[in-house]
Amino acid sequence: MPELYDGIGRHIHYLRVAVTDRCNFRCQYCMPAEGVEWIEHHDILRYEEILRIISAFASLGINKVRITGGEPLVRKGLLPFLKKVTQIPGIEEVGLTTNGSLLEEYALRLKEAGIGRINVSLDTLQRERFIKVTGQDQLNQVLAGIKKAQEVGLTPVKINMVVMKGFNSDEVIDMAKLAIDHPYQIRFIEYMPFNTGENYLFTAEEMEQQFIDAGFNNLIPQMKSSSPAKIYSVPGFQGTIGFISPVSRHFCDSCNRIRLTPDGYLKPCLLSNDEYSLRDELRSGISDAELREKIKQIVWNKPTEHHLKQGKKSERGMSRIGG
């Protein structure tokens, strides 16, 4: 089986694919509440173009794909597309990241399409804060979607909380307690400075201190995996908790992923401005062999690490990259 490596020897086998920049939420760290400039429709990759790119990656050794957005469930025709992705030879796991607002409706159909696991973005359990951060009064719908995903077997359900100092950093323990009675994996993510003009960084170390202060002193590390999250079990919890620290304790040396944006750019690093258009190549008649060589060249030049500490930021908003 072929394998894909970059120039410093990292094994790249995980492709994250953003199928749209559209979203029915307006989360403040992802996109502005007003004045959103959507990518033009003709610049968005067609499903057949995405399938061709995923197939090329699979032939090079990519075995894990995650579908993201924007909010992927708002794009028409998603379910038949997902079923085709799961049938690509070499692809062993297909997951999906969602804001959860449509998950109750779609959970069973996602399972039937071959989706294995779901990540749900949920940054607060307080209704007024939820409205403030998302622009929508849909907290109950998201919680119902999480419950439905668990019921149909999209497990383990992973709940991603972006922890923002001064906004929701006082809810870390409350969010973690969802894992007491449910087998969820609650993952606390450091805020990353995209082009929103704010810095809400609350470090993983500060989050961990909250657990100590709350009396949860016995966090038991789980076996190391390729995930960027440091996962812990907690006595008395059905589920687990995890911390993702892209800023304070970056994990660039073990990064195994590459991203495809909605408009067809490959981004070897989430927090770098390096990106390479595959859309233009596809629409200019590139052959499959040439496409594979292009991909290998891009992966080979994947940056060694991001440069946040040097003050550099991503010029794309998160919705235009993919969560």
d(CA 225, CA 311): 30
What's the angle, vertex CA 144, arms to CA 122 and CA 108, rounded to 5?
105
The SS3 assignment for 269 reads coil
Which amino acid type is present at position 265?
Y
Say yes or no to pLDDT of 80 above 90.
yes
| Pairing status of strand 240-244 against strand 185-190 | parallel
CATH of 14-320, one of 3.20.20.70, 3.30.1360.120, 3.40.50.970, 3.40.50.300: 3.20.20.70
Q: What tokens appear for 120 in the block?
A: 């749900």
What element of type H or E holds 107?
helix 103-113
Backbone angles phi, psi at 245, to 5 degrees: -125, 70
Residue 243 forms beta bridges with which residues?
188, 230
Residue ranges covered by each domain of the chain? 14-320
pLDDT band for position 322 (50/70/90)?
low
Does residue 272 or residue 181 have the better pLDDT? 181
Does residue 273 or residue 68 have the better pLDDT? 68
Q: What tokens appear for 257 in the block?
A: 């992923």
Q: By mean pLDDT, which of 23-27, 74-78, 118-122, 146-150 is the weakest?
A: 23-27
In tens, the pLDDT along 281-297 reads: 999 999 999 999 999 99
Model-level pTM greater than 0.85? yes
Residue 259 forms beta bridges with which residues?
16, 267
Signed CA dihedral, 256, 161, 73, 28: sign only = negative
- Please say whether the beta carbons of 280 and 240 come within 8 A: no
The SS3 assignment for 217 reads coil
* pLDDT value of position 54: 98
Q: By mean pLDDT, which of 87-101, 196-210, 306-320 is the weakest?
A: 306-320
In tens, the pLDDT along 194-205 reads: 655 567 899 999
DSSP E strands: which ranges in the chain? 14-18, 64-68, 93-98, 117-121, 158-163, 185-190, 220-221, 230-233, 240-244, 257-260, 265-267, 276-277
* pLDDT value of position 310: 53
* pLDDT value of position 271: 78
In tens, the pLDDT along 232-284 reads: 999 999 999 999 998 888 778 889 999 999 999 999 998 788 899 999 999 99
Average pLDDT score over the chain: 91
